[in-house]
Amino acid sequence: MEECEHCRHKERSDKEYRDLINRLSRIEGQIRGIKGMVEKGAYCPDILIQVSAVNAALNSFNKVLLANHIKSCVTTDIRAGKEETVDELVTVLQKLMK
């Protein structure tokens, strides 16, 4: 795969890839479940509880992805002298904590 200078790609291990995809598939299923609840006229508090569960699952996904990013990309870039990666990480963290 040819990369431009502005594009960044992450090579993931098979295990990391499968874990992330499995998490996203579960979240996707939860979203479909919520859509079905709305379509069937489910009671609002029941829907809100399911939405809360999806938010928790997305937060968990973010934690795993962020940890993997710090352990691989960030540490590799710092070792290579790419200090701008720290600024990028700070920006990402600020967006996550809105």
Q: Average pLDDT for residues 12-25, to the nearest whole number?
A: 95
CA proximity to 21, closest of 63, 69, 61, 66: 61
Token couple for 17: 């890839």
Residue 5 pLDDT: 52
Residues 6+ apart with CB under 8 A from 69: 10, 89
Q: Average pLDDT for residues 63-81, to the nearest whole number?
A: 94
DSSP 49: H
Q: How confident is the model at residue 6 (pLDDT cuts 50, 70, 90)?
A: low
Q: How confident is the model at residue 3 (pLDDT cuts 50, 70, 90)?
A: very low
pTM to 2 decimals?
0.83
What is the set of domains in the chain, with CATH numbers?
14-96 (1.20.58.1000)
